Amino acid sequence: MRQRSRGSAAAGVVLAAVLGLPDQSVARTKRVQQISADPLPSAGGFEHDGEAEPHVAIDPNDPSRLVAIVMVERFQAGGHRALAYAASDDGGVTWTSGILPGITTAAGGPFFLTTDPTVAFGPDGTAYAQMIGILGSIDGTCQHAVLVLRSEDGGRTFGTPRTVAQVPCGGELPDKGWLVVDAGLQSPYRGRLYVFWVSGVRYSDDRGDTWTSLSAGIPQDASHMPVIGPDGAVTIVHDGSTGTSHDGGVSYLGPATEHFLVGQPFEVFGSGFPSATADPVTGQLYLVWQDGRLRRTRGNDVAFLTSTDGGASWSGLRFINPDPGDDAHDFITPTIAAYGGVVYVTWQTMTKGRRISLRYVASTDGGVTFARQRRIGRAGDALFAAHGGTFVGHYMGLAATPNGAQAVWCRPSPAAAIPHQTTWAAFIPRPAR
């Protein structure tokens, strides 16, 4: 099933009428709209209309081409029933969306569940989607797998899944997968795909057809967040520190820092993953995460670090959300993107009244200073989050271009009369210097 949505002011009203939602436009952001809704029939054990953990990528050759991916229908014991996708070729004005085929049994694939989807564009404009397949019948045996799909048309259609790694169902689940593609103009490994997960990492130099195992110097739990600089250096955020590879991922130097990832799990939503990015123009690295060290009670602030030497050293720790230490708010799932010295950070703000909304700040000086925060779209009610009001997701989507940033997030409904957690998108224009 596919649907198209449109983000202009007039079309946003049309979309709202179709989906039963009010228009969500707010000042300083553009094209705020719902881009995905669960088209699957309800099934026992699955939570209908529960979307979570979106990711988004922008074609480095054409910023008007976008692709997003998100999990659909959480299973009561964990994992999701299917993956939804949304693609745009006009900068997010209109989107085409549907269910990604060939992964789970709900969409013609071999796996019962899936989790942790990510997307990326290669330097030639090819789009890639990565996910974990859980409990699949492959060659007559039960297997888990790390999978990658390739799209030649900007994410509107995807080819047959390629298996990156396979684990028997009795073995360790290959959790927390993450895909990055080297698009660096100065990189000797330009075009290389890397897929990280909790217990391993592999790369491909033939657009995902075959995968070579990396066997040396891989930090444990390296999957949380890999980023690639314009020179091809791979920096991974893992288990409270960072490590960097300058030889195409064969070996890693580190840890370079030990003073992050001390966030307190929020009592409802759990811990968010750290988020890191490399500015493709300046090469500067940025890192954010939810951090609870200032709080008297449960709750988090948005911690921020930056590196100007490819991860060899990092700046002093800063908190960039307003009123750090204010126990009336919890700031969770921060996400960061940068382009040409302009830095964007989004996060979810949760109040004691369980209202939750997406906020953002931007910096035009490489993260030295940030403008005041702004809200994107309407607030939701945490009671209607996925998994019975306990799961907004471990991460959100954010990608930067020369003209601004594209945000994709999952918002719980503001009321019980409409679907309880759906996927939204908005464009954040590049701020004036």
Cα–Cα distance measured from residue 165 to residue 197, given in angstroms and rounded to the nearest whole number: 10
Q: What is the pTM of this model?
A: 0.90
Residue position matching structure tokens 């019980």:
416
Element (H, E) at 36: strand 30-36
- Does a cis peptide bond (omega within 30 degrees of 0) precede residue 414? no
CA atoms within 13 A on the CB side of 254: 29
Report yes or no: 52 and 46 within 8 Å, Cβ to Cβ: no
Report yes or no: 56 and 119 within 8 Å, Cβ to Cβ: yes
Cα–Cα distance measured from residue 372 to residue 369, given in angstroms and rounded to the nearest whole number: 10
Cα–Cα distance measured from residue 171 to residue 196, given in angstroms and rounded to the nearest whole number: 17
* Measured CA angle at 213 (ends 209, 215), to 5 deg: 170
Q: What phi and psi values does residue 91 have, to the nearest 5 degrees? A: 75, 20
Residue position matching structure tokens 């200073």:
369
Contacts for 294 with CB less than 8 Å, ≥ 6 apart: 301, 319, 324, 325
SS3 label, residue 298: coil
SS3 label, residue 120: strand
Q: Tens-of-pLDDT digits for all 433 residues of the chain?
A: 445 554 433 333 322 322 333 333 333 688 999 999 888 998 999 988 889 999 999 999 999 999 999 999 999 888 999 999 999 999 999 999 999 999 999 999 999 999 999 999 999 999 999 999 999 998 889 999 999 999 999 999 999 999 999 999 988 888 889 999 999 999 999 999 999 988 788 999 999 999 987 655 565 555 568 999 999 999 988 766 778 889 998 887 766 555 555 444 444 445 678 899 999 999 999 999 888 888 877 788 999 999 998 888 888 889 999 988 887 888 999 999 999 999 999 999 988 888 999 999 999 999 999 999 999 999 999 888 887 787 888 899 999 999 999 999 999 998 876 668 999 999 999 998 7
Residue position matching structure tokens 């990326």:
120
Q: What are the structural domain ranges in the chain?
A: 1-174
Element (H, E) at 19: helix 9-19
CA atoms within 13 A on the CB side of 245: 25
Q: Where are the alpha helices (DSSP H) in 236-370?
A: none
Q: What is the DSSP string of 324-350?
A: TT-TTEEEEEEEEEEETTEEEEEEEEE
Closest CA to 255 of 309, 197, 313: 313
Q: What is the DSSP string of 152-195?
A: SSTTSS--PPEEEEEEETTS----S-EEEE---TT-TTTT-EEE
